[in-house]
Structure 1
Amino acid sequence: MNKNLSILLVFLFAIFSAYSQQVKIAKLKYSGGGDWYANKTALPNLINFCEKELNLPLSNKDYVVEVGSKEIYQYPYIYMTGHGNVVFSDDEAQNLRNYLISGGFLHIDDNYGLDQFIRLEMKKVFPASDFVEIPYDHPIYHQKFKFKDGLPKIHEHDGKPAQGLGIIYEGRVVCFYSYESDLGNGWEDQSIHKDPEAVRLKALKMGANIISFAFTQD
């Protein structure tokens, strides 16, 4: 059997199994010293929000998957965050590429300081592709919740405008990169960053849109 076809079949089986029970999403563990484990309450809060607002059967277990692991195919959506250095080995980059072109989805969420590293590492994954800005009329901003001005700004940091960037492979968004927004901080418990409830709600709604889009795009 063709290797790519075999990978795709494994991935589709994982998605089918997940939807027949609960969909599992995971945080990506990577090397290089960056704090991949940041925002510990973010994903659990987003999962709870999506279960209520989107009626998605998401598992609320806090899953972690390594870049180079074959277990990555168990998760149709992978979340990546951190402040610092990121390093993908050649094998890890190839594994992540195979996952993404086989139907997987990666959401990279810059937690301030990730940008200079992740751009270099994603070039290992897709050498012929660059991040492109996702236009405001794109479906990712118009799922259940409408963001007519694109990605919301959650934390100020350098004061730059928030940008929703993507890597597109054969017409499909395989990676969405929320830059200068810090959605994950907005998903965390209110007691951690003390964001106003309206700001947290914007972050959660945008996160729900990303997950909804990842599971439904053509």
Structure 2
Amino acid sequence: MNRRTFLHLLGAAGLSLTIAPTALALDEQHRVGLARLRYRGGNDNPRPGALRRMLQEVGRHTSVEINPDVAEIWGEREELFLHPMIVLAGDRAFEPFPEDVIENLRLYLSSGGFLYIDSAEGLTDGPFINSVRRELQRIFPDRPLRTVPREHTVHKSFYLIDRPMGRLDIAGNFEGIFDEERACVLLNANDLLGALARDAFGGWEFQVSPGGDRQRDMAQRLAVNIVLYALTIDYKADQVHIPFILRRRRWRVD
């Protein structure tokens, strides 16, 4: 289900929205896009071009209409609600978010938004991930990161994949924060974007270890799964009726 269909069904279901229609993650062409969350200090774009590649994989393998132009945002309230999926990436420590960004992210994630976090530092407890944990603790003081089980929908939203993939294989599971059953935050320490990145000549920018081409292929599939999960949450798992999906999606600001 792409975002155009989602909006159509949203209207048909008669759900109440208290934000402007433009705050529902679509550009003027009604194509699905995503945004990269910027921050101060550190490196918020360690794999330039990889998010565009991620969207291209979705467009190539599914019927979802994509907007390959990745937005860059600082976490202001209005811009957050223009995107169904926000990506936070890095490879080193970064400064704390301003308090208003923390509040905006809490509202966004509690209202149906999705944050994917991709670490390029090659560590499961390195400076970038420690900075991430610090900020997530500020956003959701009562919701710690926890291990995402292998049977979670993100592993089967389009392809069947039993673990997080990427340039590396150092973490056997995603970590996540949940809003009831819905994962509103997913953290991958395996550098998924590093497996997707290409150089100026179209060649792969980084080697993938230890699984080589097979691991890269699975990382490309996982990229599709993550975007599809951001759009459809647990639909693949339970095949529930669309109005129920929309109630669970809760894409509104109360």
- Which residue matches 1:46? 54
CA deviations 1:2-51 (Å, max 9, x no partner) are xxxxxx632765337459621221111012x1100221121111111100
**Distance (whole Å) between structure 2 residues aligned to residue 19 and residue 145 of structure 1:** 29
Q: Does 1:27 align with 2:43?
A: no
1:212 to 223, 228, 231: 228
- Which residue matches 1:203? 219
Q: CA, structure 1 residues 128+16, in 2 after alignment: closer, same or farther (shift >3 Å)? A: closer
- Which residue matches 2:13? none
2:179 to 141, 165, 169: 169
Secondary structure in structure 2 of the residue aligned to 1:10: coil
Secondary structure in structure 2 of the residue aligned to 1:9: coil
1:152 to 141, 165, 189: 165
Tell me the C-alpha RMSD between the 2 structures: 2.2
Q: Is the CA contact (8 Å cut-off) linking 2:42 and 2:91 kept in structure 1?
A: yes
Q: Is the CA contact (8 Å cut-off) linking 1:11 and 1:73 kept in structure 2?
A: no
CA deviations 1:148-169 (Å, max 9, x no partner) are 3x2135315xxx4332011012
1:66 to 74, 85, 88: 74
* Unaligned ranges ≥5, structure 2: 1-16, 234-244, 246-254
- Which residue matches 1:127? 141
**Distance (whole Å) between structure 2 residues aligned to residue 34 and residue 209 of structure 1:** 28
Q: Is the CA contact (8 Å cut-off) linking 2:167 and 2:206 kept in structure 1?
A: no
Matched-pair identity in % = 23
Secondary structure in structure 2 of the residue aligned to 1:176: strand
Q: Aligned AA for 1:203? A: A
- Which residue matches 1:92? 101
**Distance (whole Å) between structure 2 residues aligned to residue 37 and residue 69 of structure 1:** 21
TM-score (norm 1): 0.86
CA deviations 1:171-196 (Å, max 9, x no partner) are 321111112x1101011114311344
**Which protein is bigger by CA-based radius of gyration?**
2
160-169 or 72-81: bigger deviation: 160-169
CA deviations 1:183-211 (Å, max 9, x no partner) are 01011114311344333221111111011
